[in-house]
Structure 1
Amino acid sequence: MSQFQFANRLATLPPYLFAEIDRVKNEVKKSGIDIISLGIGDPDIPTPDFIVEKLYEAAKKPENHQYPSYVGLLSFRQGVADWYKRRFNVDLDPENEVVSLIGSKEGIAHFPFAFINPGDLALVATPNYPVYGVAVGFAGGEVEYTSLTAENNFLPDLDSISDESWEKAVMLFINYPNNPTAACASLDCYKKLVQKAKDTNTILVSDAAYTEMYYDPADKPISIFEVPGAKDVAIEFHSLSKTYNMTGWRIGMAVGNASLVKGLGKIKENVDSGIFQAVQEAGLVALEKGDPYAEEFRGIYKERRDICVSALQKMGIECMVPKATFYVWCKTPTGYTSAEFVTKVLRETGVVVTPGNGFGGPGEGYFRIALTVEKDRIEEAVSRLAKL
């Protein structure tokens, strides 16, 4: 069989860090050890029935079997605008400031193609969701990473970025509540980001997919658009995946500055044909009626968080107590790299956790736990860890 050479852009992809972990995982499985995976950020709770029923109803409509709008049904985009107004008190024009996405990852991955030219610079706050840097590289841009550290509460240190870099940068990627650290941004943090972006003519790309996964109503995460004037420089990506347990449905949205939304829409016109309209109808119902269910899910994750964090603290593992997301960001014990510790845990206990360096250099020395299994499995997993 002929072998063909990959395009150069694939050569820029970072090595697959988890290859060795997968190999060990398969070994452990073959030995008969029960695997508990706390590695994947994929909700285990089913999508609420009322959303599934709406999909079934909408899928029976012949008009939904044709090509959908590239930018999404206006009714869905209006639903997004209504949800943003209700949740964040942010006003959005559904026709010009909202675009539907085949999941937020798709939108984030395509966004740089609209605004990055070959050689342009993008800033990425790290540890980070890997798609940011990959997308910039695919668009021919260069990436400069700025470290998020515990000393700065995993918030961007804007002064650590040189004036030269600010001058060159086309965009800055941020993600709050943050994956993997679970850090949340304050209004003051967002105000500083918006002002700096205005001063340097930099696009702010805010990934806000986890805003609804919070644990205390007094600490609700905020949208960057709660800062006056943020629409001048920002676009925000959001998703129904985590909020309503719809990861497999692939539906999300980008909102904000009209020219940024328009640029992303132009890319989408040429690379996809929109979201199945029945999924959009179901997504609209989720936005309209899903708040009580999201509240219920938060209660489930809070119970899991408390079980996990309490057990980790008892065994002497340092970790942040997350105010949002379903992730727990933990320090590896002294003497181990992230990969070494994760491999040891997997080999000796059958528990899968994620090495922090998989999210960028500053993640070295940490590992991430995803609270995406039932509480009895969380209890079993931390019990096994304690025996180490």
Structure 2
Amino acid sequence: MNLAKRVSALAPSTTLEITAKAKALKDAGFDVIGLGAGEPDFNTPQHIIEASIQAMNEGHTKYTPTGGLPGLKNAIIKKLKQDQDLTYNPNEIIVCSGAKHALYTLFQVILDEGDEVIIPTPYWVSYPEQVKLAGGTPIYIEGFEKNEFKITPEQIEGVITERTKAIIINSPSNPTGMIYSKEELKALGDVCLQKNILIVSDEIYEKLTYGEYKHYSIAELSTELKEKTIVINGVSKSHSMTGWRIGYAAGNKDIISAMTNLASHSTSNPTSIAQYGTIAAYEGTQEPVEVMRKAFEERLNIIYKKLIELPGFSCIKPQGAFYLFPNAKQAALQAGYNTVDDLVTALLEEEKVAIIPGSGFGAPDYVRLSYATSLDSLEKAIERINQFMIRKSE
């Protein structure tokens, strides 16, 4: 049977693909250290679990409104007001089955065939595929390492056409961990306002910032920018709720209404129980969020020093999220491989260390390592990579 053209050229998620290979090796009895998947290694905080159990016991296991429970929308509104001083009404919020689903639904309702979306590289693997599935065309701008992988207003101006519909800003970034400053966001936003471009602001890692670095939403910088921005967020990373699949979009009520209409014919509603858990996540104690953040920062500070000592690897220290994104081109060459992808494959097969090739993020000279795992595992992984490089370089 012939598949639809829109899915025939669809690239699989690189992160999930590597994670699946690592799991298969682990199931076969190998001692695999997985640094691939982007999820916290902490369990969901207990008060969230208990609130969800209570919701089930109280019979809250039925359909909910497509766009989310009113109580959850109100919790999100309070969160956005408290954290970014952003004011939204319930009709400007949609709750989705994860932030990924929020992005997918957004692109489906804003893009027509041939519409262009500006995507900075390195990018999260699903951005281009979601744009293409909606009939759009990804337009890539390279975020250069010398500029901390961040793009400039001049780069945006250089690719804008009459078909440019939107731009994606992801800060803190997956995969680089870089964070745009308030001034940098304002400069990008000014171009978008001048050219009437919708801003898609993916803020899923907002709670994971380190040192003196702080997250800013581009929507909070002015009323005009708020009106041109769709904020994407969720509880997967902040509250270690990846499997609960709750994310949301906040922005223009007409766009949110269209997203809600589309969701009514696809998901019906996000899982009721997970929604009650998310209410508890936002309205309950935030102490577990800070505990996780501190743990990630501690790991980063320790493992970063070890990583940059590896033969052939160089890396800018991340400012947020929980990824390291080193340049491994020289490492690949020193180990006798033509590409970084080949190096990644060899590390998995020979050393049982799973990392993600940068090619999946539009940056083939790099690799992504997640430090959302135990410090012991991280140190073992670095030592295995070091021994591999020493052996291959002899």
Q: Percent identity?
A: 28
Correspondence for 1:378: 378
Task: Supply the distance in 2 between the matched residues of 1:321 and 1:183 (Cα, whole angstroms).
Answer: 9
Task: Supply the distance in 2 between the matched residues of 1:171 and 1:154 (Cα, whole angstroms).
Answer: 20
> Which shows bigger deviation, 103-112 or 11-20?
11-20
Correspondence for 1:330: 326
Task: Supply the distance in 1 between the matched residues of 2:16 and 2:96 (Cα, whole angstroms).
Answer: 30
Pairing partner for 2:10 from 1, 10, 13:
13
Q: Do the aligned residues in 1 keep the contact of 2:173 with 2:321 (CA within 8 Å)? A: yes
SS at the partner of 1:319? coil
> Which shows bigger deviation, 258-267 or 14-23?
14-23
Task: Supply the distance in 1 between the matched residues of 2:300 and 2:5 (Cα, whole angstroms).
Answer: 42
Shift of the alpha carbon at 1:276? 2.7
Give yes or no for the alignment of 1:75 onto 2:77.
no
Pair 43,23 (structure 1): closer, same or farther in 2 beyond 3 Å = closer
Correspondence for 2:218: 224
Pairing partner for 2:34 from 30, 33, 37:
37
Q: Do the aligned residues in 2 keep the contact of 1:338 with 1:355 (CA within 8 Å)? A: yes
Q: Do the aligned residues in 2 keep the contact of 1:166 with 1:200 (CA within 8 Å)? A: no
Mapping of 1:104-253 within 5 angstroms?
Answer: 104-161=99-156, 165-216=160-211, 218-228=212-222, 229-253=224-248
Pair 45,236 (structure 1): closer, same or farther in 2 beyond 3 Å = same
SS at the partner of 1:331? coil
Q: Do the aligned residues in 1 keep the contact of 2:13 with 2:126 (CA within 8 Å)? A: no
Which runs of 5 or more residues in structure 2 are unaligned?
Answer: 389-394
Correspondence for 2:56: 59
Counterpart residue identity of residue 52, structure 1: I
Counterpart residue identity of residue 299, structure 1: K
Pair 77,167 (structure 1): closer, same or farther in 2 beyond 3 Å = same
Shift of the alpha carbon at 1:103? 0.5
Shift of the alpha carbon at 1:29? 5.5
RMSD after superposition: 2.3
Q: Do the aligned residues in 2 keep the contact of 1:21 with 1:343 (CA within 8 Å)? A: no
Give yes or no for the alignment of 1:257 onto 2:246.
no
Pair 29,45 (structure 1): closer, same or farther in 2 beyond 3 Å = closer
Correspondence for 1:356: 358
Query: Normalised by the size of structure 2, how large is the TM-score?
Result: 0.90
Pairing partner for 1:343 from 345, 355, 364:
345
Counterpart residue identity of residue 315, structure 2: C
Shift of the alpha carbon at 1:41? 0.7
Counterpart residue identity of residue 34, structure 1: D
> Which shows bigger deviation, 225-234 or 98-107?
225-234
Shift of the alpha carbon at 1:187? 0.9
SS at the partner of 1:167? coil
Query: Normalised by the size of structure 1, how large is the TM-score?
Result: 0.91
Q: Do the aligned residues in 2 keep the contact of 1:167 with 1:200 (CA within 8 Å)? A: no
Task: Supply the distance in 1 between the matched residues of 2:49 and 2:285 (Cα, whole angstroms).
Answer: 12
SS at the partner of 2:326? strand
Task: Supply the distance in 2 between the matched residues of 1:79 and 1:354 (Cα, whole angstroms).
Answer: 35
Give yes or no for the alignment of 1:84 onto 2:86.
no
Q: Do the aligned residues in 1 keep the contact of 2:114 with 2:163 (CA within 8 Å)? A: no
Task: Supply the distance in 1 between the matched residues of 2:270 and 2:108 (Cα, whole angstroms).
Answer: 20
Shift of the alpha carbon at 1:90? 1.8
Listed one character per residue, the Cα deviations across residues 41-61 of structure 1 (whole Å, up to 9, x for unaligned) are 122210011100000000122
Pair 137,190 (structure 1): closer, same or farther in 2 beyond 3 Å = same
Task: Supply the distance in 1 between the matched residues of 2:177 and 2:31 (Cα, whole angstroms).
Answer: 28
Q: Do the aligned residues in 2 keep the contact of 1:109 with 1:131 (CA within 8 Å)? A: no
Correspondence for 1:275: 270
Q: Do the aligned residues in 2 keep the contact of 1:58 with 1:278 (CA within 8 Å)? A: yes
> Which shows bigger deviation, 157-166 or 144-153?
157-166
Give yes or no for the alignment of 1:266 onto 2:261.
yes
Listed one character per residue, the Cα deviations across residues 254-295 of structure 1 (whole Å, up to 9, x for unaligned) are 112323322322221222211233321210111122421110
Shift of the alpha carbon at 1:161? 4.0
Counterpart residue identity of residue 352, structure 1: A
Q: Do the aligned residues in 1 keep the contact of 2:227 with 2:252 (CA within 8 Å)? A: yes
Pair 126,68 (structure 1): closer, same or farther in 2 beyond 3 Å = same
Task: Supply the distance in 1 between the matched residues of 2:51 and 2:152 (Cα, whole angstroms).
Answer: 45
Counterpart residue identity of residue 181, structure 1: T
Counterpart residue identity of residue 274, structure 1: N
Q: Do the aligned residues in 2 keep the contact of 1:98 with 1:253 (CA within 8 Å)? A: yes
Pair 164,328 (structure 1): closer, same or farther in 2 beyond 3 Å = closer
Mapping of 1:307-318 within 5 angstroms?
Answer: 307-316=302-311, 317-318=313-314
Shift of the alpha carbon at 1:96? 2.1
